Structure formats: structure tokens, C-alpha cells
Amino acid sequence: MRIGIMLRHYDQHGGGVRVYTQRLLHAMLQLDTGHEFVFLYRNPGLLGTYAGNRGVQEVALPARSVLTWDQVAVPSAIRRLGVNLLFNPKYSIPLLAGCPAVWVCHGLDWYVIPWASRRIDRLSHRFLVPRYAAKAAAIIAVSEVTREHVMHYLKVEPSRVATVYSGVDDVFRRPLTDSHLQEIRRKYSLPERFLLYAGAIYPPKNFTRLVRAYAEVGPRQGIPLVVAGGENRFLSERELKEPEELGIAEWVRWPGWIEQEDLVGFYSMAEALLLPSIFESCGLPVLEAMAAGCPVVTADRYGTKELAEGAAVMVNPESVESIADGIRRVLHDDVLRAEMVTSGRLRSRDFTWERCARRTLAVLESSL
């Protein structure tokens, strides 16, 4: 089978979908599938990314807009290139693809929590995504709660929606030497003790309540908050100002996006990962932290509950006091910390990129 893969988002800086895409492709190429892959980029600068991989053809399709790339450039190219099936690790497909198409749903937050997205994004998603769903041969959901949302909001029959969990890269499971950890600490000027937030910053991440909860606990304990991630350029201005408005700006460190080779050190040295999101379809940082032996404080709903319940400290993300109490518990209860480290590592073993790749390919093969 000749599988075309839409990768216009491949070079987006940071974010879970980019990590998901890169790790999934790497795992797919390690398998002896017998399939040929055509990687379709919007950015010509990506050509050669997979040079040397057998069975991979890379094609650049420059286009003025995202919509033009999706709906004009891609369908024209796949007919010319003899593609049998089209796959997008994100959420769009050509409406006139000319072959079966499968896409991945990473969450429907514009339906579940509509207040958290810009009106123009909400309207465009609500117009386009149901049409992508209707045209898809199959949809892959990154969690069971996402599968339920796809069936409910997009009116897709159960037989066309498959749950395939993301993986955790093995780098997070391998302990780093003390000298390597100290090298990372010096590189980013990390304090001896710190709490960690990892990921993008925009309203569903609940960063404002997180900072308010941290303000009640962290500075009093002399423990800074390290924010390893970045802002969403449209939605995060208010959230970024929160530490200053609370008078704790000096307690919050902003190293920016961290490549995973160093991020494993952040998890290994942190007192805990704090991810009390209002909405997560999956929550890759939760899985990464658990694999690295870092205790996790996360939300008691949606994808994080599905993945982490019983292996993390669960909090009500709508309550600053609940989040603050979760932070206090993980800082002061050594028995609880030890239990979370052990159970988190065990839980994370269920999530591998090889398993994700095999199950994804099974969906693709059954869709032809």
C-alpha cells in the first residue's frame, strides 16, 4: 500500500501534536510493514528530513494558505503520486481526496469548552471538522473520552472511530546520571528544588488557576515554578501576566520550549509536574513525567483522568484551593510521593510508540 501522510504542521514549534507526529512516524518506519510512504510537506525546507529511510518519498507542496494546501495541493498531488490511502496525524483531510482518508482527533475543545477558543477558530472548526468527519474512512481518537466526543459532537458511528493511545519515548524511562542532571541544571540555571509546568499556555491549560494555586504554596516553601513551554500567540497574554499581578514574578522561571533530551532531566529533578488542565484529550506531559519517575498533580476529568487516575494526585481544576492542596500533598507526604512514582512508572509502561504505530497502521490497513 502507498500511504500519503499530510505533514504541513510538522515544523510547528513545540506542542503535543508535533511531538505525536514525529514520534509516530519514527515508530512506523521501524516496523517491517511492506508499505510505501509519501510524506507531504508545505515547507520545502523539510525535504530531506527522512533521507535514507527506505520506502519514503518526500514531496513539498507550497501553497498560499492552509485551506489551499489541504483542499487543492494535496488531492492533486496524491493522484499524481499514486497514493492509495491518505493519513493526517492532525484533523483535516481533502474533501475530494479521491482515495480513502484517515485523520487523528486530538480533542474537540471548541465543542467541549467553546469559551476557550477564539470565535473565528470556533466557527471555522465547527464548519469544517464535521465535514472532515463525514468524509473520513476512519478517525483515530487519542483517548476513549475523545472517541466519545467524536461520536457525540460529530455524529460519527462507532465503527469508524478507533481509540489509539499515544506513546512515551524510551528516553523518558532511562535514568540520567548525576553529572548529566547537573549539566542540565547549569544549562538552564535550574534551582535545587522546583515545581514544573510543561506545555503550551492557552486557556484550556488553566494556567491562571495553576499560578494562583502555586502562589499559595510555592513561595512560602521557597520552591520556584519552572514553566517549560510557550505561549499560544492568540490566547495567552492574560495568563502570562498572572505571576506579575500576584506579586510572585521572581518565583516563576521561563526557560521556554525544551527539547526532550533535556526535558527528561527537568522531570527527573522536579518535585512534581503540575498539569491541572480544564481540558486535555490526552496529556503527553503526564505520561512523560510518570515514565521519568516524577510525581504528577493533574485534573480529575477528561483525558488526564483516563490516563492518570490511581497513579497521580487528582484535583478539581476549577478550584484554586483543590490545586493548592494537591501541591501541598505531593510536597509534604513522602509516602504518597513514593506511591505516585511507583504507580506512575508502571502505568507509563502501557504506552509505547511501537504499540501506537502498530495500532495506527492496523486502522489504516482496514480503511483501504
Q: How confident is the model at residue 231 (pLDDT cuts 50, 70, 90)?
A: low
Partners of residue 274 on adjacent β-strands = 297
* pLDDT tens-digit series, residues 13-54: 667 888 899 999 999 999 989 999 999 999 999 999 999 899
Residue closest to 307 by CA, chosen among 327, 323, 283: 283
d(CA 58, CA 36): 11
| Average pLDDT value for residue range 269-295 | 96
The 10 Å Cβ neighbour count of residue 178 is 8
- Predicted confidence at residue 239, as pLDDT, reads 78
| Average pLDDT value for residue range 303-321 | 97
Lowest model confidence (mean pLDDT) among 209-223, 230-244, 354-368: 230-244
Q: How confident is the model at residue 341 (pLDDT cuts 50, 70, 90)?
A: very high
Contact 3, 37 (CB under 8 A): yes
Contact 30, 37 (CB under 8 A): no
Residue closest to 240 by CA, chosen among 204, 276, 193, 207: 207
| Domain 170-348 class, CATH top level | alpha beta
d(CA 72, CA 236): 33
Question: What sign has the CA pseudo-torsion 147, 152, 154, 156?
Answer: positive
Angle at 319 between CA 318 and CA 325, to 5 degrees: 135
- Does the domain formed by 2-167+352-367 have CATH 3.40.50.2000? yes
Say yes or no to pLDDT of 283 above 60: yes
d(CA 366, CA 213): 47
d(CA 35, CA 4): 11
265: enclosing H helix or E strand: helix 260-269
Q: How confident is the model at residue 337 (pLDDT cuts 50, 70, 90)?
A: very high
Contact 36, 57 (CB under 8 A): yes
Partners of residue 5 on adjacent β-strands = 39, 87
d(CA 362, CA 315): 36
Lowest model confidence (mean pLDDT) among 4-18, 74-88, 133-147: 4-18
Contact 143, 303 (CB under 8 A): yes
Provide the residue type at 294 as one letter.
C
Residue closest to 197 by CA, chosen among 181, 209, 187: 209
Contacts 24+ apart (CB under 8 A), 312-315: 312/286, 312/340, 312/344, 313/272, 313/340, 315/276
d(CA 81, CA 143): 33
Query: What stretch(es) of the chain map to CATH 3.40.50.2000?
Result: 2-167+352-367, 170-348
